[in-house]
Amino acid sequence: MSLGILGKKLGMTQIFKEDGTCVPVTIVQAGPCKVLQVKMATAAEFAEGDKTASVNRGKKSGRVARPRRADGYYAVQLGFDNKPARVSSKAELGHAKKAGADATRLVREFRLAAAPTVKTGEEVTVKLLEGVKCVDVVGITKGRGWTGTIKRHNFSQQPMSHGNSLNHRTGGGLGRQHSISSGVPKGKRMAGHYGVERVTVQNLEVVKIDAERNLVYLHGAVPGHNRGYLVLQKTKKVARVIAAPPGVKVKK
């Protein structure tokens, strides 16, 4: 578990490497993100400015400061893509104000294994990904509406001929009849709504980082439409090191 960064898919294109290899890339605007909140496992770990929290005690006493309680886990909450105050709720504005930031359209939390080093109000930029070879990208896929089983569950098509009539793209049989356990099994894959779901693509290579414009070029496609929001994190996949058998020379 490591700190990631929030971003926006700009679109796909291709670039050429020096040796002429053509690389399909997705250009992602990653950050800058504001740290809206830092969560700590114990109250003692809070940074100086984070030690107190105010609570509304009603009309008489108004807002009263009290020691902030521990969150019970380590996490960093990031905000990305500022939005105007007129479309933000008061709760969003108040929460962002504590970090000295504007309200943002996307707020996500990253759980961490150890106490985070970033502080509330700091900025996380694409420089975070420098030196990272591969990332996992979370996005919301494009909506496909109501789809049949072929598109939704990769069912096979039925024969176009050989006496088949009107049943080319249908799902086929649903269950069994005349037996003790008759009926349609639970979880039977059928036609229905497909898309608009959270999908993670693992192990996408970071081709290039443009720190000046907060851009990162990823090898391959990421979920969702252009301008869709993404979460980028160092990949969970572990690069497999295959040891050469004894006596075998490895070509470098």
Site of interaction with other proteins (CB under 8 A) = 10-11, 13-16, 18-20, 22, 27, 215
Q: Which is nearer to other proteins, 14 or 182 (CB)?
A: 14
Residue 151 CB, nearest approach to other proteins (Å) = 27
Helix H or strand E segment including 52: strand 52-56
Q: Could you tell me the smallest distance in angstroms from the CB atom of residue 223 to other proteins?
A: 18
Alpha-carbon dihedral sign for residues 149, 152, 156, 159:
positive
What SS3 class is residue 211? helix
Closer residue to other proteins, CB minimum distance, 14 or 157 = 14
- Nearer to other proteins by Cβ, of 28 and 124: the residue is 28
Cβ closest to other proteins, residue 18 vs residue 48: 18
Distance, C-alpha 22 to centroid of its chain? 27
Q: Alpha-carbon distance 191 to 151, whole Å? A: 9
Nearest-approach distance from CB 27 to other proteins, in angstroms: 6
For residue 192, the minimal CB distance to other proteins (Å) is 34
Are the C-beta atoms of residues 147 and 192 closer than 8 Å to each other? yes
98 φ/ψ angles, rounded to the nearest 5 degrees:
-60, -30
Nearer to other proteins, 36 or 206 (CB): 206
Q: CA 105 to CA 126: how far, in whole Å?
A: 18
